[in-house]
Structure 1
């Protein structure tokens, strides 16, 4: 499992996407913060360091699902398409393959968010530990979903298109259900990470998306065990 994690993590860190992710998170966060500062009087908000947490949260809320689902959509099915997973399966178990690849994406995003927070700290003059952990928890939900989709669907092109569609759908439905008073939407909100984000209890938010992400991974493991490679 560790070898799978390290191999996949090295491959992700060597690619240009890690730099792009950090740059976009940092640039959009600072840009949103600058806009909030400029129009603070119009939106009834006092300018201050909180504008950076607002910018960071909005960046991850809208871009996080898209980045996660589109960048790693083929992490499992690409191996199956090229048949390289057969070779990997001779070295380790299918469970270790799923968990190893899942952990590699988790660590990748942890590094990206950490670097982004350190860069933002230069402007904000403080490190947003609690907000950073909350947003990391939010991203883990979509990491688990990415693993599940890539396990269930064999065609990487389909998972790419589906990932883009789901990232938009989850954002719209997730935010709508979290703020709506409709009973059906409220029930739906419990299976989205947005409910836990807008929930007042921060500890519940931190646990909720991570638990759902683990459930996605468990389902992926069960599917992979029964699949012919």
Structure 2
């Protein structure tokens, strides 16, 4: 998604990251991915610390990735319900800094879990930018769909992985349904009788949601546990 790519620069000798450098609009950007085979908050923190050694004047960082959705109840408005391809932006409120680390805390008597501490809010300059975007969306709409279309026009080979597969492939099963373990990536062998019928959207554009993002050192792929956390 860079508008321009930049050549590599000399890194701090203790920095183990590998960067892609470029420009997005008027912003110079250093992009880093986690090392292959690693995941979680600790490797992410290590990558961010290494980045600051090589680029000490970075103004702010954005963590971007693919997450599992916590969709609302079947009665939810289609524009409020989380669907395949939607974008979620963390937004602080009175009780959270925008990202909720749901596995950080202590277990006490009777197995009750108590969360301890919370993450800080993003810098004010980013929260002001979010407010501006939210004000523009009702009149101008999000630009996500336009950018994805431009990307696929410039790089047709990316279509198989990044093109929106359509609402017919956005399947939501009942939270209590235990999916078939067939070793395949899809749900071809799962029982369609346990699907939840949701009202279709009128347009394929991704919806941008603002709220709390759950974060942990484990991947959440269990519907009943997801619903309990939601």
Which TM-score bucket, shorter chain as reference? under 0.3
TM-score calculated relative to the size of structure 2: 0.22
TM-score calculated relative to the size of structure 1: 0.22
Larger radius of gyration: 2
Higher strand fraction: Structure 1 or Structure 2?
2
Higher helix fraction: Structure 1 or Structure 2?
1
